[in-house]
Amino acid sequence: MKIGVLSIQGAVSEHLQRLKDCSVEAVTVKDPASLSSVSGLIIPGGESTTIGKLIELAGLKGPITELSKSGNLAIFGTCAGMVLMARQVIDGVEKQPKLELMDIQVKRNAFGRQKESFETELNFKPFEQTLTGVFIRSPLVREAGEGVEIMAAIPEGIVAARQGNLLATSFHPELTNDTRIHQYFVDMCRNIKEVKKIKV
């Protein structure tokens, strides 16, 4: 099984490393051809407006959306990746580029200037032990639809959510040595592989 990391901008190498730590074949995704062989795609943090525009320029928006909606691609978005996956974005730029995959409303740069970057311990629902969330000019989930499971929250709001094959975190699990969230996503991708096998 291969998992791709969208390699347009942002924390690409860190995600590739975490996937390797999980003993998974990790590949870079820059164009539609490289999408066809992967069961999952990580959309890293960076700047959602830039990444979104470059997704469109690379011709990736259609293929990502179609593969996701047909159940053939699991997607994990961190920070800017979460913004890109959201149905609705508060405080986005005019014509904020979006993939509109998840039924969540997010607020960009939700922590204000003095708290733009910080670390905090948080509970990610499936795990018994807390993990360290690294937040860098992060978004918060303001509203989540019925089909969305809240995976983690801090006093300021929701910071992780899952909807079927879609996972999004406000924070950056790739910036710590803790591989648990990447492992959780790898397990989501293994289900995709099963679906693909059944379809074949």
Q: Which is nearer to ligand GLN, 136 or 161 (CB)?
A: 136
Q: Is residue 136 involved in binding ligand GLN (CB under 6 A)?
A: yes
Q: How far is the CB of 97 from ligand GLN (least distance, A)?
A: 10
Q: Is residue 45 involved in binding ligand GLN (CB under 6 A)?
A: yes
Residues identified as active-site: 79, 172, 174
Pure H helices in 27-173:
32-35, 48-57, 61-69, 80-85
Binding residue for ligand GLN, selected from 16, 41, 75, 79, defined by CB under 6 A = 79
What radius of gyration do the chain's Cα atoms show? 15
Binding residue for ligand GLN, selected from 74, 80, 99, 192, defined by CB under 6 A = 80
Binding residue for ligand GLN, selected from 109, 132, 183, 191, defined by CB under 6 A = 109
Q: Which two tokens mark 58?
A: 């690379």
Distance of CA 77 to the CA centre of its chain: 1
Binding residue for ligand GLN, selected from 107, 108, 162, 182, defined by CB under 6 A = 108
Contacts 24+ apart (CB under 8 A), 156-161: 156/110, 156/111, 157/110, 159/122, 159/133, 159/135, 160/124, 160/125, 161/102, 161/104
Residues at the interface with ligand GLN (CB under 6 A) = 45-48, 79-80, 83, 108-109, 136-137
